[in-house]
Amino acid sequence: MRDYPTPPFAPQAQAVPGSQRKMVPQPDCGEQSYVGSGRLEGKIALITGADSGIGRAVAIAFAREGADIALAYLDEHEDAQETARWVEQAGRQCLLLPGDLAQKDQCYKLVADTVAHFGRIDTLVNNAAFQMTHATFEEIPDEEWVKTFDINITAMFRICQAAVPSMAPGSSIINTSSVNSDAPKPTLLAYATTKGAIANFTGGLAQLLGERGIRVNSVAPGPIWTPLIVATMTDDDVKSFGAETPLGRPGQPVEVAPIYVLLASDEASYISGSRYGVTGGKPML
């Protein structure tokens, strides 16, 4: 068993959306450890929020399992290029797709660009997210509430709707929810609300697309050490991040990636409409 970092962590505030290169300790996205076994050989995957954190870990794992990657991200170009380097080092193609998913046209464009380049989409991973911490209800700005919904759930709807026509039977959609969908953290009210919406969206969409042979599932991570944490939480929250879990630490992105691999693979051919917790021991019932 690998000895992963435990709190306390040093203060390290960053501007949103944050850069993985500046984090201490560096998140482990499986760069040195993930070993593939051909489970996604020849598949095409579109992954949003794939420049760092969970998205990077999924991109690396998918590439080492044999998939080519369309990598969507906001504007963290150096982080995205580092992810692309790992994908290409695995012998797979990587298409970089920068842009703001709060914009309707960008949601459609990244799907169109992926299909134009690769010809289809076999696996869609909706992982991009935005959050901010607020101590009181009154201080949440209206425009920030709308932005959180636009990025976290409305973009997901748009991307799925645009992608489905290019997805054949046997394809997979995987949406990143959160432990907050089950146990909402009050200081992350807007984010937690969207994560509950994602869980419900996933369950409903799985039923709508079942007759087409397209599977839809969600993954609900607990506290995972990613740039979003240091860019949106207080120093005190960062210092103790993950300490409340039964395992006493935050998860690393590499520890989340294997469930995405399973759900993208043909091994999960009868798994749809489900939510999978990766929570460090916190129950999701």
Could you name the CATH architecture of 38-132+143-222+252-278?
3-Layer(aba) Sandwich (3.40)
Summarize pLDDT for 216-252 with one digit per residue, the tens. 999 999 999 999 999 999 999 999 999 999 999 999 9
DSSP per-residue string spanning the chain: ------S--------TT--GGG-SSPP--STTT----STTTT-EEEEES-SSHHHHHHHHHHHHTT-EEEEEESS-HHHHHHHHHHHHHTT--EEEEE--TTSHHHHHHHHHHHHHHHS--SEEEE--------SSSTTS-HHHHHHHHIIIIIHHHHHHHHHGGG--TT-EEEEE--GGGTS--GGGHHHHHHHHHHHHHHHHHHHHHGGGT-EEEEEEE-SB--HHHHHHS-HHHHHTTTTTSTTSSPBPHHHHHHHHHHHHSGGGTT--S-EEEE-TT----
pLDDT at 1: 67
Point out the residues that are catalytic: 191
pLDDT tens track for 189-204: 999 999 999 999 999 9
CB 259 within 8 A of CB 63: no
52-103 confidence digits (pLDDT tens): 999 999 999 999 999 999 999 999 999 999 999 999 999 999 999 999 999 9
Say if CB 123 and CB 174 are below 8 A apart: yes
The predicted structure's pLDDT at residue 61: 98
Phi, psi at 252, each rounded to 5°: -100, 150
Which residues face 96 on adjacent strands? Answer: 71
**How far apart, in Å, are the Cα atoms of 174 and each of 22, 261, 265?**
28, 10, 11
Q: How far apart are CA 83 and CA 68, in angstroms?
A: 13
Side chain identity at 252, as an amino acid letter?
A: Q
Residue 170 has pLDDT above 90, yes or no: yes
Q: What is the mean pLDDT of the segment spanning 134-145? A: 97
- Mean pLDDT in the chain? 97
Phi, psi dihedral angles at 173 (to 5 degrees): -115, 130
pLDDT over 90 at 285, yes or no: no
Rounded to an integer, the average pLDDT of 93-114 is 98
By percentage, how much of the chain surpasses pLDDT 70? 100
Mean per-residue pLDDT, 131-156: 97
Positive/negative CA dihedral, 29, 33, 38, 42: positive
Cβ neighbours around 30 below 10 Å, total: 24
Strand 68-73 and strand 172-176: pairing?
A: unpaired
pLDDT at 261 exceeding the cut of 70? yes
Q: How far apart are CA 116 and CA 110, in angstroms?
A: 10
